[in-house]
Amino acid sequence: MPIHPGDEMDYKLGNLPGHKAPLAIPFVPFQSNNPPQYNSIEGFNRGTIFPGLDLPWANTVNKTNPAENTLLGDLSALDFAAFDLQLFLDTHPNDKDALDIRNYYLGQIEACRKEYVRAHGPLTIADAEQDGHHNWLNDPWPWEYMERKD
């Protein structure tokens, strides 16, 4: 629908009982610098590494992480924590503590990824060449194990 000068601007208003109001005037407070943090595994299970943002639906916390205490579970948790910190750094670029912790996680991710690749095979195409030969299709694949192996 084209809009012309002088037209009513009802499209900018929403319905409240008894009157109309602007659609949105949000206010979102920022986290403070250096907020408390969960460790990577607890943060992964809870969906955030920041306790201040931990508002679980119906006060239910995920406690059923089947990959916990495995290399893949550790790698997933570390990657999640580094990503959550990166999002925090988008709004807090000068928080040196957060940057240091994110960089620590990045180092842990690389070490854990190498350990996983050594034990279970490639995770990415970049991991597929070891010992001078291409081993992307070498068996067994992770889902072919009959039991969890670390």
- How is the chain split into domains, by residue range? 33-123+141-150
- Does the model's pTM come out above 0.85? no
> Residue 142 above 80 pLDDT?
no
| Res 79: pLDDT | 96
Nearest Cα neighbor of 74 from 104, 99, 42 is 42
What digits encode the pLDDT tens for the residues 57-109? 888 877 778 888 899 999 999 999 999 999 999 999 999 999 999 999 999 99
Nearest Cα neighbor of 42 from 17, 71, 78 is 78
Place 30 in a pLDDT band, splitting at 50, 70 and 90: confident
| Residue 15, helix vs strand vs coil | strand
What digits encode the pLDDT tens for the residues 46-70? 999 999 999 888 888 777 788 888 9
Torsions phi, psi of 82, nearest 5? -65, -40
